[in-house]
Structure 1
C-alpha cells in the first residue's frame, strides 16, 4: 500500500469533485489517499508522510489558483523526489477546439513552477450557471453562445469524463506501484457515475 496526497485548488467545486473521485479510485486499489483543498490546508502539512503527490488546479480567467502555484513552488524539491502527477480542470478541455489552449495552460503552469510531474491529465469542468451572479452569468453565457452554440444555458452543464478521471487515477497508481515495487491489485471502476 502506498500513501497519496491529492492536493487541489477549486473555484466552483468541480475540481474538488474530481479530486474526490481520484481519492476514491486510489482507495479502491488498496492505497491510503488523502484529499486536501488549498483553502483547508493544515498548518502542519508535510510531504514526508506521503509516497506520492497529485496536484490539481482549475483554470479561471486563464489562470490557475495562486495557492496551487505557491504550494508547488514551496515544495518543488520534495515533489521532485517522489512520484507526482498534475491534473487541470478547464472548460477548454471540454471541447476539441479548446485542447490546444488547455495544453498551453498546463505548459505555462509547469514553466512558471519549474516542476516536472510524472503524469499529466486535463479534464473538462462544469458551468454552474445557477451559482453565478448576474454579471458573471451574462458574460459566461455570451462566451458559451459563441463557443458552444448548442449548449442549453438555462441549466448547469458538466463536461467531466468520469471514466477518464478514474483511468488517470489508476494509471498514476500503477506508475507508483511499479516505482515503489508494490504488487498491482485487481482494480475495477471505483465509483458510480455522477
Structure 2
C-alpha cells in the first residue's frame, strides 16, 4: 500500500476533522499515513518519501488560506511527480448545486491561480461555528449568512459536512492509489484541465 501525506489548513478545526476522517478510511484500507497541518511544517519538509499527497484547505471570506498557496508554490514540482489530490472546505457547499466542483466558484478560481493540477478534486461543506469566531468575524459571517439564507443565530453552531461524501471521496482515492499505472492519474489531471467530470459520484 501507499505511504501518504494528508496535509490541511483551516481555522476552527473542521478541515482537520475532515482530513482525519479521510485518514481513518485510508488507514482502514491498509495505507500508511501521516496527518500534518501546513502551518506546522518545518522548512526542510519534503514530499519525496511519500507515494501520494492529499491536501485540504478551508476558505475565509472567499479565499483559500495564504499558507495553502505558499505550500503549492514551494512544492509544485514534487506534487507533479506523485498522485496528488485536493479538497476545498467552504460554507457555499452547504447548497447542493455548489457541492459539484464545477459549480463551486471558489474552487474553480483557486485552480486557475495555482501552478499545480490535482489528479482529483472535491468540495465539502464545512461548519458554521459562531461560538468560536472572534467578534468581528462573527458579525461579518452572520451578515454573509443573512444575505445567503444561512443560519444567523450566533449562539448556535451548525455542521454542514456530509460525511457520506467524505467517505466516498476517501474510497475513490483508495481506488486511484491501488492502480499501479500512472496514466490513470494523468487522465485525472486532464479531466480537471479540460473540464470533464471531476466529481466522485
The question of whether the paired residues in 1 share the 8 Å contact of 2:131 and 2:154 is answered with: no
- What secondary structure, in the 3-state scheme, does the structure 2 residue paired with 1:179 have? coil
Q: Which residue of 1 aligns with 2:62?
A: 62
Q: Which residue of 2 aligns with 1:127?
A: 128
Q: How many residues align?
A: 181
Q: Give ranges in structure 2 of 5+ residues lacking alignment.
A: 183-201
Q: Give ranges in structure 1 of 5+ residues lacking alignment.
A: 182-194
Task: Give a deviation string over 1:31-73, Cα, whole Å, max 9, x none.
Answer: 0011110121133321111101111111111111111111111
- What secondary structure, in the 3-state scheme, does the structure 1 residue paired with 2:64 have? coil
TM-superposed CA distance for 1:77, in Å, is: 1.4
The answer to whether structure 1 residue 33 and structure 2 residue 33 are counterparts is yes
Report 1:76-87 matches (<5 A): 76-87=76-87
Distance in 2 (alpha carbons) for counterparts of 1:58 and 1:102: 17
Q: Which residue of 2 aligns with 1:13?
A: 13
Q: Which residue of 1 aligns with 2:190?
A: none
The question of whether the paired residues in 2 share the 8 Å contact of 1:93 and 1:102 is answered with: no
TM-superposed CA distance for 1:95, in Å, is: 1.0
**Higher RCO, 1 or 2 (CA under 8 Å, sep at least 6)?**
1
Report 1:38-53 matches (<5 A): 38-53=38-53
TM-score of the two chains, using structure 1 as the length reference? 0.85
Q: Which residue of 2 aligns with 1:169?
A: 170
The question of whether the paired residues in 1 share the 8 Å contact of 2:89 and 2:125 is answered with: yes
Distance in 2 (alpha carbons) for counterparts of 1:60 and 1:150: 17
TM-score of the two chains, using structure 2 as the length reference? 0.82
